[in-house]
Structure 1
Amino acid sequence: MSSVPKANIPAYNDAEKGTLDVQPLAPATTYFPNDEKKAIVVADKPPADLPVAKKEAPPPVKPTPKGKKKVSKWVLWRLWFNTYRKFFTFTFGLNMIGLGLAASGHFPYAIKYSGAMVVGNFNFAILMRNEVFGRILYWFVNTMFAKWTPLWWRLGCTSVLQHLGGIHSGCALSGVLWLLLKVVNNFRHHDVNHDAILIMGVVTNLAVMVSALSAFPWVRNTHHNVFERHHRFVGWIGLLATWVFVILGDTYDPDTRQWNLSGVHLVEQQDFWFTIGMTVFVALPWVCVREVPVDIELPSPKVAIVRFKRGMQQGLLGRISRSSIMEYHAFGIISEGTHAKYHYMICGVQGDFTRSLVNDPPRTLWTRELKFAGVSNTSTLYRRGIRVCTGTGIGAALSTCLQSPHWYLIWIGSDQEKTFGPTISGLIHRHIGPERLLLWDSKLRGGRPDTMKILKETYEYWDAEVVFITSNYIGNSEIMQGCKEAGIPAFGTLWDF
């Protein structure tokens, strides 16, 4: 479940609606930027070895939608108070107890080393969002606990890895409040503090507050560019201000009212080393940024299939942008494996960035070569599982089923072959047999299915241990509620991180 209001999130995106309202449909076109003549290959139909939908009979009449099933408040509560919120409650609550004790004079250590309390929280918050740390953590869990450990333990590992954002949010907000306490204490004792320290304390506090506020879910999900610009660039300003604030505070002696410029005292302080850690964790992912050549396939006006060189392991996501530092967007990665020649991203047209991929296909894109792991990366923990997705969610789901014969794919959409083109269809039909594949075309079948009925039957037939879901907000919520009521272990898309 997510805390984002439903009004802020569309029920279905364009790609999930299919191509019913597009007349005529543009043929699938592939741009090859490496060719000076910009050769264009047109594919009006899928390859001959792929099944073709029968068109003799008109699609059945769409059934009358049933009333929404009422879900118990206990189920809703368990979904809302997920591991993310448990992590947030624990980290933020523990910090607030410490801050309360410090403010009341019962925690003198925190007052003496208040700078360490501030940057220590920020350091841990940034670490939770570091791609290198995340990949190492996923690798360790997938290597050590795959298949042989009890199911409850493996489910717990997946839940912890998926919801590390709760620690990130809890520590970040706690750091802001610890910093506020430190600045207030500095002003309370302004007679023994230098004006430069007081000024930098205010500047640092304002910067980190703006960065933190811009990351609230309703801002992030409804105004992505506002979130990214403020969270990233104001956050960088906050990091620079933190450096100045820490150095000034650690080199100024309030007792003698003099500056200690020897540097020995500075390197002995905890906050100095915590700030170094913050800087390394912030900078490390940007060291991996590269501009890479891409091929853009446009099977329909609503979807762009971006092709990159080299194969990838399953369960990874990548960030792409037209600029080296601006407007990065994350998409699931489709690949046949690390041995493959290419990997793909499916970009459904939802905003200015994805629309520009269709209207003005680029020859190159900026991306971080080091990809970050998503919840699907833990699929190796389980003996058998089900991957459910709708529309463009196939981008995050497909690799798991391509690379493992123990995963069953359920893909619900409208006119998938025409909307997503021969490349995606070819990958599915070459690697996933009919015994572990259900493609539901809502256009051909006259409407969306009873997803929970299908899922329960498939769960029993496939003898699955877990279900992974990638869908829109409403679809994800309904399936998660149904799985929770049915006692089926499931992990869905997050809007909280």
Structure 2
Amino acid sequence: MASHQVNDAERGIADIIHSRSPTASASPWALPSLPVKASDYLAKPKAPARPTRRANLWISWQLWFNTYRKFYTFVVSMNITGLILAATSTWKYPRDYTGAFILGNLLIAILMRNELFGRLLYLIITTLFAKWPPLWFRLGCTSVLQHLGGIHSGCATSGFMWLIFRVILIFIDHKDNHDVVLIMGVITNLAVAVSILSAFPWVRNTYHNVFERHHRFVGWLGLLCTWAFVVLGDSYDVTTHSWKPDGIHIIRQQQFWFAFGMTVFIIIPWLTVREVRVDVEIPSPKVVVLRFERGMQQGLLARISRASIMEYHAFGIISEGVHSKEHFLICGVQGDFTRELVQNPPTTVWTRQLKFAGVSNTSTLYKRGIRICTGTGLGAALSTCIQVSLLWYLIWIGSDQEKTFGPTISGLIHKHLGPGRSILWDSKERGGRPDVMKLIKEAYISWDAEVVFITSNRSGNKEMMEGCKAASIPAFGTLWDF
């Protein structure tokens, strides 16, 4: 099935970013500054200890049972209801056209992860509903777009359940079905099962390359097996026990068109794969900055690879706008891929020209907002604060950032963001991390913000999301697909 790794691009895994002294003069075009006290944010030998916060059970439940899980629960529940009705022969249609339920679910699962469909959906929402509808509606739009993965996972799980049901029916009526159809059904089940299991969060987050190879290549095998299963099933006449390969009959079946749609939506992103030039800047052993030609709109994610069809890794795109001559990716040196960028810097990489839209793309829906990130999470946040008018405020927490990230990234910060629109906290200089919720609350109130977007590691994301929920501050954080 279609792979999806964009969440990696919205995580601040390494706390290593630039800090600018708040004593610097404000930019002449900056909007009114926050009422920041010098005693709060000037460099200190030692940062105050952060208070320990524990969310109550109700807040934890609300964050756990988010829109992703609501989508997943709804989709799977509806399909389980249909399966029960079909298994008890209460509803005859699914027993006669089980293939349509299998492939219909898998088609929607693939569609939810298709770059073209995602970009189109984001474009429609951000064009039609920018700023004017009630805040609750715009927050709902962002939540739906961010959690489309719940529909993806729910439909993939449901399609697999219908596939098992279909094979069971064939086993029950094995005297009326050809062995080839039965064998192909079992193989298809195994391929889809491996593809789904490889996408479990523990596998995807711990063994990324295993996830990529199995979810993609076994998923493609599952697609081929699905085609064979559909064609063979439609070509075998169970009443006469003979093969009737009638092409006209096959293309008139709805499952044929579902399989055709699956194939098209899987192929489309791969038609945009190109080998492009890249300049590599290595300001420190912890960070690699990649520069590509042409500008990009904010809120997009790029997936790059050393090979055309092997492992792709997602990173947030930093750009000054669509008319800029270049855009940048910040890569924290964490795994094999990013370490290889340091040890053997490439002159070209493979990428999909059709970029994926991330949750930051919905920032244009809001009048004013806060963008808080830690470490390399800046890659998913900076373009929003640069491009979306002057209405987004940046809080960036890192360590020894000027030295670690070098002149390219710090230059963009100095050029576009003054202290009137940013708090940049160097935890090394200040002796530790700040009271993050104090920063968020002060910025949210003083900036008259409508929403907070968070890009951080797992513990940081949990702390900030729980704090914002307790303070009734609308916030969207990093996702780890469930």
Unpaired segments of 5 or more residues in structure 1? Answer: 1-10, 20-48, 52-57
Residue among 89, 108, 118 paired with 1:124: 108
Tell me by how many angstroms 1:61 deviates: 4.1
- Equivalent residue number for residue 292 of structure 1: 276
Alpha-carbon distance in structure 1 between the residues aligned to 2:329 and 2:242: 58
Note the C-alpha offset of 1:433: 2.3
Alignment partner of 1:452 is 2:437: yes
TM-score (normalised: structure 1): 0.89
Which string of whole-angstrom CA distances, capped at 9 and with x for unpartnered residues, describes residues 227-268 of structure 1? 111100000000000000000001111001122222121111
**Which residue number corresponds to residue 461 of structure 2?**
476
Deviation of 1:373 (Å): 0.3
Aligned to 2:308: 324
**Equivalent residues of 1:119, 1:275 under 8 A apart:** yes
Contact in 1 for aligned 2:291/2:327 (Cα 8 Å): yes
| Cα distance in 2 between the residues matched to 1:161 and 1:455 | 24
The question of whether the paired residues in 2 share the 8 Å contact of 1:314 and 1:337 is answered with yes
Give ranges in structure 2 of 5+ residues lacking alignment: 1-10, 19-23, 27-41
Q: Distance in 2 between matches of 1:329 and 1:398?
A: 19
Supply the AA of the counterpart residue of 1:217: P
1:80 alignment partner in structure 2: 64
The residue that corresponds to 1:281 in the other structure is 265
Task: Quote the residue 2:414 is aligned against.
Answer: 429
Choose 255-264 or 188-197, whichever is displaced more. Answer: 255-264
Change (3 A) 1:12 1:336: closer
Alignment TM-score, normalising by the size of structure 2: 0.91
Bigger shift: 60-69 or 267-276? 60-69
The percent of aligned pairs where both chains have the same amino acid is 67
Structure 2 letter corresponding to 1:94: M
Residue of structure 1 equivalent to 2:446: 461
Structure 1 residue 311 corresponds to structure 2 residue 295: yes
Q: Is the 8 A contact 1:84 1:163 kept in 2?
A: yes
**Equivalent-residue separation in structure 1 for 2:345 and 2:181 (angstroms):** 50
- Pairs within 5 Å for 1:62-461: 62-63=46-47, 65-66=49-50, 68-404=52-388, 405-461=390-446
Distance 2:16 2:480 in 1: 21
What's 2:15 paired with?
16
Structure 1 contact 92–173 (Cα < 8 Å) conserved: yes
CA distance in 1, matches of 2:272, 2:476: 30
Conserved? CA contact 1:50–1:429, under 8 Å:
no
Q: How many residue pairs were aligned? A: 451
> Are the counterparts in 1 of residues 44 and 430 from structure 2 also a CA contact under 8 Å?
yes
* SS at 2:224 equivalent: helix
Deviation string, structure 1 residues 181-228 (Cα, Å, up to 9, x no partner): 000110111101011101100110100000011111111111111111
What secondary structure sits across from 2:367 in the alignment? coil
Moved more, 302-311 or 433-442: 433-442
Output the CA distance in 1 between the equivalents of 2:444 and 2:409: 25
CA contact (8 A) 1:331 1:396 kept: yes
The letter for the 1-side match of 2:426 is D
Asked whether the 8 Å contact 1:50–1:426 carries over to 2, the reply is: no
Q: Which amino acid aligns with 1:425?
A: S
Letter matched to residue 200 of structure 2: F
Q: In structure 2, the residue corresponding to 1:438 is in which secondary structure?
A: strand
Q: Secondary structure, in 3 states, of the residue corresponding to 1:337?
A: coil
SS across alignment from 2:276: strand
SS of 2:318 mapped into structure 1:
strand
Match of 2:34 in 1: none
The alpha-carbon deviation at position 68 of structure 1 amounts to 2.1
SS in 2 for 1:443: helix
Q: Which amino acid aligns with 2:362?
A: T
Query: 1: distance between equivalents of 2:52 and 2:303?
Result: 36
Q: Distance in 2 between matches of 1:130 and 1:69?
A: 39
